[in-house]
Amino acid sequence: MDTAASTDSPLPAEWLMKRNCSLSPRQAVLVYALLCTATLVIAIVFTLQGAWMVLAFALVEAAPVAPALHHYTRHALDHERVLLEGGWLLVERADGLRRQAVRLDPTHARVSLPDAGVRTLVRIEARGVQVEIGRFLTPSARLDLVRALRQALRGASLLYPGPAGSL
């Protein structure tokens, strides 16, 4: 979890939570291409010597890896981002090709963590809109996120009093 700014200044506060991936999508495709190339070169050498079944097994071996790699590359860049700026609390979520952005009123936002379970997500509610975040965080990091968001929202309620006439 990266925090871009402190809440002591009117600068935006940002929290970015990303999936922990070893390879970028481009690197994963490159590794797969290199492995397939090496496997096919070896298979072709054996095929030219009369062992044509090696080529068939090489193709059977490489084919199921492609869908798994496709799934990996679609989700390698998944992230959740929370941005407190300009009187809004913006929550963005990227999951594969789906992108979702929700704007919440920080003066009415409540941050909660229902329990400290492994799969329990951080819940942000404001004016009937509810968003759950923290899929890529450990339980202790979720607690830290809740504390940081609560502190930032306390500062936001002082900086942005909301529309005239609201309580």
Q: What is the mean pLDDT of the segment spanning 32-56?
A: 95
Q: Where are the beta strands (DSSP E) in the chain?
A: 2-3, 13-18, 79-85, 88-95, 98-104, 110-112, 122-126, 129-133
| pLDDT of 30 | 96
Task: Tell me the C-alpha distance between 57 and 63, whole Å.
Answer: 10
Closest residue by Cα to residue 12 from 22, 20, 2, 23:
2
Q: Is the pLDDT of residue 1 over 60?
A: no
**Amino acid at position 42, single letter:** I
Q: What is the mean pLDDT of the segment spanning 23-48?
A: 95
Confidence band, pLDDT 50/70/90 cuts, at residue 4: very low
| pLDDT of 166 | 39
| pLDDT of 156 | 66
| pLDDT of 117 | 74
Task: Tell me the C-alpha distance between 37 and 106, whole Å.
Answer: 53
Measured between alpha carbons, how far is residue 48 from residues 42, 57, 118, 150 in Å? 10, 15, 54, 68
Confidence band, pLDDT 50/70/90 cuts, at residue 157: low
Residue-wise pLDDT for 81-117, tens only, equals 999 988 899 999 999 999 999 999 998 999 999 887 7
Q: Is the pLDDT of residue 13 over 90?
A: no
**Amino acid at position 81, single letter:** R
SS3 content of the chain, % helix, strand, coil (to 5): 40, 25, 35
Q: What is the DSSP letter of 134?
A: -
| pLDDT of 154 | 85
Q: What is the mean pLDDT of the segment spanning 51-64?
A: 93
Task: Tell me the C-alpha distance between 14 and 91, whole Å.
Answer: 10
